[in-house]
Structure 1
Amino acid sequence: MKDWVATTMGLAVLVPTVALLLAGVTVSLDAITLSDVASQNCPANPDAHMTYEAPDAYGGLKPSGEDYFGTAGEQLLDEMKAENIERNLRYLTSKGHMAGTRQDLEQAEYLKKVWLDQGLDQVLLQPYNVQLSHPDLAKPNKVYLLDEAGEVKFTSSVMEEPLDGVQYDDSIPPAFLAFSPAGTVVTEELVYVNYGMYEDFLAVEAAGVRVGGRLVIAKFGRIFRGDKIQNAQRFNASGIILYTDPRDYHPDWQSGEPGYPHTLWLPGSGIQRGSILWRDGDPTTPYYPALDGVYRLPEEQTDTPTIPAHTLSYNDARKLLVNLGGQEVPPAWRGGLNITYRMGPQLNTPAWKVKLEVNNVKRVLPTYNVIGMIRGSEEPDRYVIYGNHRDSWTFGSCDPSSATAVQMEVVRAYGHLLAQGWKPRRSILFCSWGAGEYGFFGTWEWVEEYFKILKMRAVAHLNVDLAIIGTYNMLVSASPLLHKIIKEASKRTPAPDPSLGYETLWDHWNQRGRAASPDLMDYNLASTSEHAPFYQSIGVPASYMLWEINFDEYDWSDYPLYHTTYEDFDAVKNILDPEFRYHLSLGQMWALMGVGLADAKILPMDPEDETAMLRRMLAELKTEYGPNLKENGVSLGSLESVIERFALVAKTFKSHVDNLTNVSPLLARQLNDQLLLLEKCYTHTEGSSLRPHMKNMMFGTNNFNQYDSWLAPGVRDALWEATHCQEPCPQRWQVVRQQLSILQYVINSALLAMKDITRL
């Protein structure tokens, strides 16, 4: 049992803190004169600002003209190898590595050593002491079915059935949902609530079945599992059970098609683990980092679940659902089990009971970020950040180890460039985040510690959580300032499978059916991964991407093996990507994005992409809330006006930059700072009226599903409250007006950031 807790013995002396990297780094401007900032307006010459006068010291060329990547980009593409990614993944999936365990610390130390050996200028192992939730191995969580005499008729499994007959070792946790409080519920009443969405609970109560005081059972999928628990609390349920229904995780189950390892479908004993926190970051230290000696909120003051919750396989859930009485559920609510789905709350046999017993333990334990740096040669205090969390609930071959394996190969390829004498213009950080599965703990604490520095100096956070869950097409979400570099990188990256008729990744991505979204790229950053604290808290441009399934063929909420013990190396090697060519393609594009942002003299960012987003946001508000707004005397005229003024300024800025030549270092710095300030202007100290921690007033999450996004989240929070009020609520419409004013204010701030800084 002691192996579950990562120890800091032997780590008393750590390498210097990241503060040495991020603070106090300056750029000498002593040699710059006023004449250097003068610019010439020349005939239209797109991207003339990218010109560079001389080769690098190592003989390579920096980005210039229409080439955003230079010699370094070509060498990165050539250097990266699929077989190395495969080797990395085999190591990463050799053991489970849940946060707070010995195995997770071992992987962190391994990465640090490898990255130092590969030539990074500095690599730090940085701990934060965060509250983690683990199962009690002596008293694993279970669900029981009891007869009228209290005798146990059924007990849920605590672990999946092993594929080879060999029991799993202690690196794999038994069934649990992190941050479910310990507690026991014994009841004769169980209510089936479909996917546990807010509207599902409303429908149950509308059907005459009260939720309050009762145990509920819901399917995984459609929305974030933590939102299901929050909805159960909103309707005063006493506890909740979640399970993986075969309709979503093995639709061919009834026809006898086998599950994994023969297919990617989830076997009947598969158990999905996961965190149910709906507020990211260490819950005991909100708004400040979890360092030694800090004040921690008492348990009752933390924003954590208050009712017990547990997870079951569909084999075990069937034992409960087949004994559930009451009215039949609507056809759309039926799952894939060969039973009649009923709503409850009564059980078929009088006096029988369901018992839910959760024995999770919360402890403050260290989680470790591995931070590697390539120091920039000209602007070392500007940071292009690669991010991927390292921990997993089990082996994590897809989530997150597929991306960690790719990140390791990206670092190795960069190390090859460094060995030849190459240095980027700006600094590049490679971040392997700790405790990501719990709610992006390592990332949030790091952002909170370096909040002021990153808000001024971070260029972008390029995040990949998991590289692959299918190979049909890519899904890419990004804030608008990164759309340009993503498109250009994809045009230079070879297609993963030329036999499909595509030459470049751009061809594959652009010509094949879209993954999940009708748009090539969307703004759906949501809270799916470690990019969240960067854009939500400090307004740093962020991206998220992975290889996805064909959504015309499948309707998955999660990939079938998600967070189970069956998510192992063989699932990737034997089924998903045997030659690791899709891993390689994503990695090459990821590498190019970083070198483009780190090496270009003027950042390859187009403010007119922001204009497209702003107009879309306005159109969505008009479509969804236009009649409500008009009925309550609320106008969007001022918002529309400031958006059009932004559009004019963005167009002027882009035209000005495109026609510059012989740009001095100081002028380049000024223009780049204007670009970097743009999305940072969207943050507002007070945040949304409903969710003060949601600081970005332009990009945020759906209040009922952290996996989904809302443009203008503060306004949408207020509109939801106002339109769902059952009686006249003038005070709620006042909040709508206030949030619209704040939205208008942050857009105007971005507008001012883009204006010529010599003209007020």
Structure 2
Amino acid sequence: MMDSVTGLMSGVAGGGAQANEGVEEGGGVRRRVPPVELKLVPLEEGSEVTLNSDMMILHRQMDRRKAAVYLTLSGLLIFTTAFLLGYVAFRGMCRLCGNEGDLIPLSDAAGAQHSPEGGVMYMAELREMLKKYLKEERIENTLRRVSRASHPPGSSEGNAVAREILQNLQNLRMDHTWTDSHYATLQFPSRTKPNMLWFVDSEGAELEEIPLDSEGYCAYSATGTATGGVVYVNYGRREDFEQLRVLGVALNGSIAVARVGGGVSFAEKVWLAQEAGLVGVLIYPDPADVPQDPRRLGLHSNAVISEHVHLGSGDPFTPGFPSFNHTQFPSTQSSGLPIILAQPISANVASKLLSQLSGTACPRGWQGRLPYVQCVLGPGFRGPGERRVKMAVYNTMKPVLLNNIFASIEGKIEPDHYIIIGAQRDSWGPGAVKSGVGTALLMELARTFSNMLENGFYPRRSLLFVSWDGGDFGNVGATEWLEGYLTMLHLKAVAYFSLDQAILGDDVLSVYSSPLLADLIEGAIKQVEHPKHTGQSILSLVQRQGGWRNIVKPLYLNSGAYSFTAFGGVPAMQLHFTEDARSYPFVNTQLDSVGRLQELLQGRLGSVGRAVAELVGLMVLKLSHDQILPLDVTCYSNTVQQLSSKLSQHTAQLQSRGLSPLWVFSARGDYSRAAKNLQEAIKNSDIQDERLTRLYNTRIMRVEYYFLSQYVSVVETPFRHVFNGRGDHTLSALADHVSLLRSAPHLFNEARFRRQLALFTWTLQGAANALSGDVWNIDNPL
């Protein structure tokens, strides 16, 4: 044992064979190390521990301690590195963490959006983000600022509002903000000669002046004077004039008194009166249609409702092309400008006129609620002598610089495809509903999407936010912009959402839409809580009314969305919340204020505004997010099917005249097949292929444009859409004409019907061919 220990120690102390070797110090000098002598003391007998085992145990313990220290340090380093990496990654993914650190729970894992920074966002995340950033109080604050006072186009108040809107948009995280300006001809009341109304005798001498509201007028009325008897025409609808003809009431040369409402605009009332041979139209709010008790949120009996009477949109002196410097263009005007006089009057003035009429009693259902009026049609007056009415309109035309204000968020994959959100900014009066509501919703949506952009939202397609000028005169600013970009807009614009007059109550939701967008509304109303019924979705209440499709209606002429579809070929939508039991009576009056709107809504203005903004925002999100545009290209097949059924009912009568509806049937079949084939092709394709996806989306985007008839003049017939437009080329005109075969065969015009049938069929067949894609995919059997 001693020998082994001696060998071990000599190896440790002497370093083995090299123990006597010199050690090199700095400077190259080698120093000899003296030998070390060890003396070993022998262990006593009976010792249980040997030196060899003690030394080995000590050596191993030291190694283990070092290893433990190294492992501990390595573990801490790995943990710290992993923690930091995980924190950075999680922070990049948690885009819904607000300043307070709250995390919104998510539930949907479908529809991923890949951002350029590598993060993934899902549609459920985007929906929750939209809900989080929408603020009720901001909607109310903007509405109050915009509706402080009357702000018509060109006024100092209007320009101040425009500057404020532009500044607010510039303060947001937008990729671009800019203005688009046009000089348009607008009509205003004369400052020197007010519009007048008199009773006159048979010689034209003035017997009595009837006072009128100096602020009430109909923009784009003809000017001058007109004299005649007075005829009560109910709402001034086409069927009302037809009933008057049946009753034998003398219309030619008379002045019509018409009620506000009935589903027709002022412009349509005046146009139909002009066609019937009348020389003027006086339009009043009847208490049966418009509440007129100021103590119960109604108009006072001396109030008037003003509205333009141009049967069209845009500057009527530059129809079909954008309005710039008029001196550079030949003089022309819209075919929709009236050539007869029009003027709004109060219920009191209407009562004074109608209470003195004589003639045939009114048809059933025509009786309003004017006091002291026994409903008769005229045109004469009771009492001695022959009396008539003379009206004078002295409105003046004025060129006004209109400023449309734009802001955009660029899409990351399809930046040249736009979803457009717009609202009218101007108002002849405070305009809380007319322009304030839409502007407030527009600004809140712009702010919300800007905040979402800062927190990881990267839209696939671009978003455009637009504040339009000249809306009170027939959507002049919007239409002039459409006219300027008409040749390329169908390649760029995916859809348009109008926010105008979105809040007229808080009970019933109505959606006025192109059929292509109708399916979007179902998904949106599932997600949004009804503003009046906490805890219930809008869809749950709509289902009690017969289903969501019952709330979807065709676009109407005075809608802010109408010209986009009927003129521009862009799918468009406008929605309203209205009261179930009563209407908001102050639109287009000087009484349209925030206070009255809040009173009607019982303080729920913010919650209703939030619901509308959320509805529109969800539809915009879907259009900007989905790889394949969610537009229903088959929708028009059903509409044409209804026409086919109607034509089938008259097959025998048409064939007896040498006419055949087979052309329409064939074109309808081609369109239906093309639409279904496109849907099937998309279903069976790899939508991750961006090239293929873009080709499909381009075909889908152009569907609405395909239905703009290429066979009528945009100057003479601006609303060329065969389904949503106006004119002899439309489906409705064709259906009305063919119905004459039974109701009035003597009025059926064979040559006109042939032309109508040809124009509609060619447009439908062209849409079918275009939807088919490449020319070799078109199936036209011999």
TM-score using structure 1 length: 0.80
Q: Is the 8 A contact 2:224 2:392 kept in 1?
A: yes
Q: Does 1:57 align with 2:117?
A: yes
Mapping for residues 438-477 of structure 1, pairs under 5 Å: 438-477=473-512
**Count of residue pairs the alignment pairs up:** 667
Q: 2:267 aligns with which of 221, 226, 240?
A: 226
Larger Rg over CA atoms = 2
Partner of residue 184, structure 1: 225
Partner of residue 29, structure 1: none
Distance 2:559 2:396 in 1: 25
Q: Does 1:408 align with 2:450?
A: no
Partner of residue 324, structure 2: 291
State the Cα distance separating 1:405 from its structure 2 match. 1.4
Q: Does 1:673 align with 2:698?
A: yes
Q: Is the 8 A contact 2:647 2:738 kept in 1?
A: no
Distance 1:381 1:300 in 2: 34
Partner of residue 342, structure 1: 376
Kindly tell me: are residues 57 and 242 of structure 1, through their superposed partners in 2, closer, same or farther at Cα, counting changes over 3 Å? same
Q: 1:364 aligns with which of 399, 419, 426?
A: 399
Partner of residue 137, structure 2: 83
Of residues 308-317 and 672-681 in structure 1, the stretch that sits farther from structure 2 once superposed is 672-681
Kindly tell me: are residues 405 and 70 of structure 1, through their superposed partners in 2, closer, same or farther at Cα, counting changes over 3 Å? same
Q: 2:678 aligns with which of 653, 665, 675?
A: 653
Distance 1:450 1:682 in 2: 18
Distance 2:644 2:156 in 1: 50
Task: Read off the aligned partner of 2:261 and give its amino acid letter.
Answer: G
Kindly tell me: are residues 756 and 368 of structure 1, through their superposed partners in 2, closer, same or farther at Cα, counting changes over 3 Å? farther
Partner of residue 588, structure 1: 614
Distance 1:562 1:238 in 2: 27
Partner of residue 577, structure 2: 547
Partner of residue 731, structure 2: 712
Q: Is the 8 A contact 2:520 2:630 kept in 1?
A: yes
Corresponding residue SS for 1:333: coil
Mapping for residues 265-414 of structure 1, pairs under 5 Å: 265-292=298-325, 295-296=328-329, 298=331, 303-338=336-371, 339-349=373-383, 350-414=385-449
Distance 1:758 1:596 in 2: 31
Task: Read off the aligned partner of 2:377 and give its amino acid letter.
Answer: M
- 1:606-664 deviations in Å (ceiling 9; x for gaps): 334444444345446657x6676465454434433443443344334324423444612
Distance 1:510 1:270 in 2: 38
Corresponding residue SS for 2:406: strand
Q: Is the 8 A contact 1:461 1:542 kept in 2?
A: yes
Corresponding residue SS for 1:376: coil
Task: Read off the aligned partner of 1:506 and give its amino acid letter.
Answer: L
Partner of residue 35, structure 1: none
Distance 1:571 1:622 in 2: 52
Kindly tell me: are residues 289 and 478 of structure 1, through their superposed partners in 2, closer, same or farther at Cα, counting changes over 3 Å? same
Corresponding residue SS for 2:769: helix
Corresponding residue SS for 1:738: helix
- 1:667-719 deviations in Å (ceiling 9; x for gaps): 2211211211222221222238996323212322488xxxxxx9724634764
Q: Does 1:524 align with 2:564?
A: no
State the Cα distance separating 1:296 from its structure 2 match. 4.7
Corresponding residue SS for 1:582: helix
Q: Does 1:615 align with 2:647?
A: no
Task: Read off the aligned partner of 2:706 and give its amino acid letter.
Answer: C
Q: Does 1:574 align with 2:599?
A: yes
Distance 2:660 2:409 in 1: 50
Partner of residue 40, structure 1: none
In structure 1, stretches of 5+ residues that fail to align are 1-47, 64-68, 160-173, 254-258, 704-709
Distance 1:318 1:53 in 2: 62
Task: Read off the aligned partner of 1:474 and give its amino acid letter.
Answer: L
Kindly tell me: are residues 129 and 690 of structure 1, through their superposed partners in 2, closer, same or farther at Cα, counting changes over 3 Å? closer
Q: Is the 8 A contact 2:153 2:400 kept in 1?
A: no
Mapping for residues 249-260 of structure 1, pairs under 5 Å: 249-250=290-291, 259-260=293-294
Mapping for residues 532-543 of structure 1, pairs under 5 Å: 532-543=562-573
Distance 1:739 1:596 in 2: 35
Q: Does 1:420 align with 2:455?
A: yes
Kindly tell me: are residues 282 and 400 of structure 1, through their superposed partners in 2, closer, same or farther at Cα, counting changes over 3 Å? same
Q: Does 1:246 align with 2:287?
A: yes
Distance 2:646 2:750 in 1: 23
Q: Does 1:483 align with 2:518?
A: yes
Q: 1:136 aligns with which of 170, 181, 190?
A: 190
State the Cα distance separating 1:113 from its structure 2 match. 0.7
Distance 2:152 2:439 in 1: 15
Distance 1:199 1:87 in 2: 45
State the Cα distance separating 1:386 from its structure 2 match. 0.7
Of residues 407-416 and 477-486 in structure 1, the stretch that sits farther from structure 2 once superposed is 477-486
Q: 1:511 aligns with which of 523, 544, 549?
A: 544
Distance 2:686 2:698 in 1: 18
- 1:22-64 deviations in Å (ceiling 9; x for gaps): xxxxxxxxxxxxxxxxxxxxxxxxxx99854845538451x5x
- 1:482-531 deviations in Å (ceiling 9; x for gaps): 223322222222332344x62x23323333467xxx93354511323232
Q: 2:754 aligns with which of 734, 751, 754?
A: 734
- 1:152-206 deviations in Å (ceiling 9; x for gaps): 54422315xxxxxxxxxxxxxx01010112212344x222222222332333343
Kindly tell me: are residues 145 and 614 of structure 1, through their superposed partners in 2, closer, same or farther at Cα, counting changes over 3 Å? same
Q: Is the 8 A contact 1:49 1:661 kept in 2?
A: no
Distance 2:275 2:533 in 1: 51
Q: Does 1:156 align with 2:211?
A: yes
Mapping for residues 691-706 of structure 1, pairs under 5 Å: 692-701=717-726
State the Cα distance separating 1:330 from its structure 2 match. 2.2
Distance 2:219 2:115 in 1: 53
Partner of residue 531, structure 2: 496
Distance 1:532 1:398 in 2: 18
Distance 1:111 1:449 in 2: 23
Percent identity between matched residues is 25
Partner of residue 106, structure 1: 160
Distance 1:546 1:621 in 2: 35
Kindly tell me: are residues 185 and 530 of structure 1, through their superposed partners in 2, closer, same or farther at Cα, counting changes over 3 Å? same
Partner of residue 128, structure 2: 74
Corresponding residue SS for 1:332: coil
Distance 1:317 1:647 in 2: 52
Kindly tell me: are residues 121 and 51 of structure 1, through their superposed partners in 2, closer, same or farther at Cα, counting changes over 3 Å? same
Distance 2:304 2:633 in 1: 45
Kindly tell me: are residues 242 and 734 of structure 1, through their superposed partners in 2, closer, same or farther at Cα, counting changes over 3 Å? same
Corresponding residue SS for 2:506: coil
> What is the RMSD of the two structures over their aligned residues, measured on CA atoms?
3.2
Higher relative contact order structure (alpha carbons within 8 Å, sequence separation ≥ 6): 1
Greater percentage in helix: 2
Q: Is the 8 A contact 1:526 1:700 kept in 2?
A: no
Task: Read off the aligned partner of 1:457 and give its amino acid letter.
Answer: K
State the Cα distance separating 1:94 from its structure 2 match. 0.6
Distance 1:741 1:609 in 2: 17
TM-score using structure 2 length: 0.78
Partner of residue 599, structure 1: 625
In structure 2, stretches of 5+ residues that fail to align are 1-107
Corresponding residue SS for 2:408: strand
Of residues 662-671 and 520-529 in structure 1, the stretch that sits farther from structure 2 once superposed is 520-529
- 1:190-241 deviations in Å (ceiling 9; x for gaps): 2222222233233334333322122222222211111111122212222221
Q: Is the 8 A contact 1:60 1:71 kept in 2?
A: no
